[in-house]
Structure 1
Amino acid sequence: MRRLFPLSPESSPSAYEDREWSLDELADAYAYPAGGSGGWLRANMVSSLDGAAHHGGRSQPLSSAADMRIFGVLRALADAIVVGAETVRQEGYRPARAREAFAARRAAAGQAPAPVIAVISASLDLDFTAPLFTAPLVRTLLLTGDGAVPERIAAARAAGAEVVIAGAGNRVDPARAVAELAERGLTRLLTEGGPKLLGQFASAGVLDEVCLSLAPLVASGDASRITNGPVLVEPERFALASVLEESGFLFTRYRRA
């Protein structure tokens, strides 16, 4: 892996050499901004050269070993991983695990041993017998609307999940979801999609950062882009923060301008 941007005379020459980066180096490179009591929402997504966010319904075919290392580091830095119900179902989400390599860093930041998985679901149509609900290291959160079926809410709570009302009727308000998580001290937020959820966050104006892995692959087909939501009245500008490269994959990081 090597750094392509930013180029700084103060940086060590080794930052630009093609070598394996340590987990600590990656964690420093992707550190959340310091300070602030509101939530900072970071997205981590992968895309093919022709814009596909998945292949065959899953993101894994577009990934690489380096992409998975960064994926793991971003999870290890987060207070909460925010994900849509459809992605939970398609990707077979499991609880986040505690990693010894990040234990001291998380303890120093006042974080739990592992990030919370926060699932956004209006219908609560989820398998509550899955390990995500029955065996998490940190209690799973479910964000839903106040019109959710009471029986599904009861089933979720019986399975051990914490249900958070973050919207009216049968929808979840993206801005309110971020605020509800921040009120619980979960301010370092990471969303892994899917595209529909990410589109909702973008349309609500609460997406602060995008970490996009660009795979040197062409997928064709009709896969969605990394966002699939309401059209913004004006496209929102993001500023390039960093670019890393390994084996033709570009690992970009953009922050809202």
Structure 2
Amino acid sequence: MRRLFPVAAEADDREWSLAELAEAYAYPEPGPGEPVAWLRANMVSTLDGAAQHDGRSQPISGAADMRIFGTLRALADVVVVGAETVRQEGYRPAKARADFADLRAAAGQGPAPAIAVVSAGLELDFSLPLFTSPLVPTLVLTGAAAAPDRIAAAEKAGARVVVAGDGTGVEPARAVRALAGLGHTRLLTEGGPRLLGQLVAAGVLDELCLTVSPMLTAGDAQRIAGGPGVTVPQQYALVSLLEEAGFLFSRYRRS
């Protein structure tokens, strides 16, 4: 791993420890008057802009990307993910990791982040381990008009249903406030593209951690963010840039 920005005084081309990665990706401390909750996204894209290959992100990832993926999860209170990504990627509960146990305890966090699934229709398989046997109860974010029988099915499986919208869908700003109200202020989303597009359009994304994979896929795969475009492009500032094995690991914050 090499730090390309900010420029390091000396070359440091080696595998970083998990503690060093945790320090490099630490959540910012809110200043006076700044929002308490901080929402970051972690996504991967090929050189030609594909966020997936055959519907999944794993084929375009790599070993260093997975170390950062695990570190970002270990720093978060909750991982927010769209229902379609849960289905496609085969999401399972987050695990407790001994390497981060002391860090999480010092931050007042539980042993592992909760998973929060964003779903309007609640068409989810509630028999999966994500719902029936998580270390931390899984959250389901939905709208007030969600079908009562599906809400009941989620709760019967052990999930906690959080209403974050007046209709069938979830309002991103309301979801952030609802999670913060539950004590989850270090927020991480892993997409997918549709959910990330909604978060961008709502103006609630504080930070983007983007891995640029040294691969080309062609085809018609989605970009990291989908859906309607914003009226004016949102500006983000580069915070850091790391490199390993041709992968670039960038971190941008809202300007």
- 1:32 is matched with which residue? 27
- 2:63 is matched with which residue? 65
1:34 offset after TM fit, Å? 1.2
1:6 offset after TM fit, Å? 0.5
Alpha-carbon distance in structure 2 between the residues aligned to 1:86 and 1:7 = 39
Letter in 1 for 2:227: G
1:230 offset after TM fit, Å? 2.1
- 1:241 is matched with which residue? 239
Letter in 1 for 2:7: L
Report 1:103-142 matches (<5 A).
Answer: 103-142=101-140
Deviations 1:86-123 (A, max 9, x none): 00000000000000000000000000110010000000
Deviations 1:198-217 (A, max 9, x none): 00000000000000000011
Q: Verify: 1:4 aligned to 2:4, yes or no.
A: yes
Contact 1:3 1:245 in 2 (8 A): yes
Report 1:154-169 matches (<5 A).
Answer: 154-169=152-167
1:17 offset after TM fit, Å? 1.5
1:38 offset after TM fit, Å? 2.5
Give me the CA root mean square deviation.
0.9
Unaligned runs of 5+ in 1: none
2:162 partner SS: strand
Contact 1:37 1:187 in 2 (8 A): no
> Which of 196, 202, 208 is matched with 2:194 structurally?
196
2:4 partner SS: strand
- 1:17 is matched with which residue? 12
Give the TM-score of the pair, scaled to structure 2. 0.97
**Deviating more after overlay: 31-40 vs 133-142:** 31-40
Unaligned runs of 5+ in 2: none
Percent identity of equivalent pairs: 68
Letter in 2 for 1:222: D
Alpha-carbon distance in structure 1 between the residues aligned to 2:12 and 2:102 = 28
1:229 offset after TM fit, Å? 2.0
Give the TM-score of the pair, scaled to structure 1. 0.96
Aligned residues: 252
1:37 offset after TM fit, Å? 5.7
